[in-house]
């Protein structure tokens, strides 16, 4: 039973508000790590939001695989998503395999979950860093298909010696024939698959017919976010029929498409999340900005502070919400405009990101810009919003300044801010308030 505690504590954190203490408790249950224990590289570590390296230590690979495969990787809950990201992206000691297939299956489950969450660049890095992944040809072909690297996926199919006749490989080979304009061979692959009982992917058949030039609209009722379907939709140049269910990597491609409708690009940008790098997000925002002469012809002021202050009274203002051009204009001002307007621009961008469930990603992208703002200005604009951004970048200094500024003015809010800062780790040396919080927390623990 003891070996279940560490991984289950991560998923238990999804339903309670004590994740930090639960993560800290892992070291008690797991025990010391042997010096010879291997360390599997990750994107995160304990210093930048990762979990303890002993998270999976002593757990069977089969159990870890089961937990990952059952985890809600497509959740829209920010808390659950943050926990899953930490668990899947952290460096650590891998679980113990009971058989030769145990560790490869665990690695496949972990990388597949990250792909579904949009962490394609992280998956590419981990696939290079982890031993044995390059030999998992099925997993590598999936990574290439999701990444849009069809040439590499097809090279795997071409060089395959064992299992070439398996239906999944025949399906990939048929797709490769399509992207290479080898139509007779593609038709043959489809005919072979239709004759088999172990392959019933009607979406594959429909999209293959569409790609071959068959008239009509493809049947996408059973469309999923599988690598095969993502690649087919990408090759066909089709958008997801249910935009809310659009995979992050698909949204990223649309956001980066300069020929796409600006409104569609902005909508996709909110969805893309980790599938886009910071520089790519900045590129998209810059491209959404209207030309200077267009902005001037509309009578826009050179600054934005007054426009933002008046937005509730002027719904037709150039900075009204959900207008792609206004998002581009906000970012342009942040990038090269009057520094006095930067706080308002950042506030507006974060507010819109929050309204579109993309706060964490944009707060991370703007972390250096936010940290450069005077704390008193952040408090004036929206303390809860900027406190949340500070939590994302683990900025305990921000909270220390806020607590001192609130001293005696808003005691309940001061206490909440101090507690949040203490939760970041290393305590909160700001005098009696923090000590009182520590005392009360210790008292609560002893009373259980």
The model's pLDDT over 188-204, given as tens digits with 9 standing for 90+, comes to: 999 999 999 999 999 99
**Tokens linked to 362:** 């944009």
d(CA 391, CA 186): 52
**Tokens linked to 240:** 């997801």
Residue-level pLDDT at 77: 79
The model's pLDDT over 95-153, given as tens digits with 9 standing for 90+, comes to: 998 888 999 999 999 999 999 999 999 999 999 999 999 999 999 999 999 999 999 99
pTM: 0.78
Residue 411 — very low, low, confident or very high, per pLDDT cuts 50/70/90? low
Residue-level pLDDT at 337: 73
Kindly give, in sequence order, each residue whose CB lies less than 8 Å from that of residue 269, ignoring residues fewer than 6 positions away: 251, 255, 276, 281, 284, 285, 358
């Amino acid at each position: 039973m003891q070996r279940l505690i560490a991984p289950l504590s991560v998923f238990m954190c999804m339903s309670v508000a004590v994740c930090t203490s639960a993560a800290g408790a892992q070291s008690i249950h797991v025990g010391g790590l042997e010096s010879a224990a291997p360390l599997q590289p990750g994107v995160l570590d304990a210093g930048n939001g990762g979990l303890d390296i002993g998270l999976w230590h002593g757990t069977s690979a089969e159990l870890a695989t089961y937990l990952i495969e059952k985890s809600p990787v497509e959740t829209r809950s920010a808390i659950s998503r943050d926990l899953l990201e930490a668990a899947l992206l952290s460096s650590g000691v891998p679980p113990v395999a009971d058989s030769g297939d145990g560790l490869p299956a665990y690695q496949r489950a972990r990388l597949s979950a990250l792909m579904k969450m949009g962490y394609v660049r992280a998956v590419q890095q981990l696939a290079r860093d982890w031993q044995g992944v390059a030999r998992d040809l099925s997993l590598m072909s999936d990574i290439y298909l999701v990444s849009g690297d069809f040439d590499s996926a097809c090279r795997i199919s071409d060089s395959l010696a064992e299992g070439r006749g398996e239906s999944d490989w025949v399906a990939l080979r048929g797709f490769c024939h399509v992207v290479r304009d080898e139509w007779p061979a593609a038709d043959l692959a489809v005919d072979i698959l239709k004759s088999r009982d172990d392959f019933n992917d009607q979406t594959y058949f429909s999209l293959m017919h569409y790609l071959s030039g068959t008239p009509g609209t493809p049947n996408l009722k059973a469309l999923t976010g599988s690598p095969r379907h993502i690649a087919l939709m990408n090759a066909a140049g089709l958008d997801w029929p249910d935009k809310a269910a659009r995979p992050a990597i698909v949204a990223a491609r649309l956001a980066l498409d300069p020929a796409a409708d600006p409104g569609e690009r902005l909508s996709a940008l909110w969805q893309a999340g980790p599938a886009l790098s910071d520089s790519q997000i900045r590129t998209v925002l810059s491209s959404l900005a209207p030309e200077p002469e267009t902005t001037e012809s509309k009578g826009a002021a050179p600054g934005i502070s007054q426009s933002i202050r008046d937005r509730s009274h002027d719904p037709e203002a150039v900075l009204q919400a959900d207008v792609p051009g206004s998002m581009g204009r906000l970012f342009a001002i942040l990038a090269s405009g009057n520094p006095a307007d930067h706080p308002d621009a950042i506030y507006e961008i974060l507010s819109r990101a929050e309204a579109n469930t993309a706060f964490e990603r944009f707060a991370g992208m703007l972390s250096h810009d936010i940290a450069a703002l005077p704390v008193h200005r952040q408090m004036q604009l929206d303390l809860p919003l900027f406190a949340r951004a500070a939590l994302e970048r683990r900025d305990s200094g921000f909270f220390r300044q806020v607590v001192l500024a609130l001293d005696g003015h808003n005691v309940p809010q001061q206490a909440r801010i101090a507690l949040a800062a203490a939760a970041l780790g290393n305590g909160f040396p700001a005098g009696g308030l923090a000590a009182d919080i520590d005392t009360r927390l210790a008292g609560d623990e002893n009373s259980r």
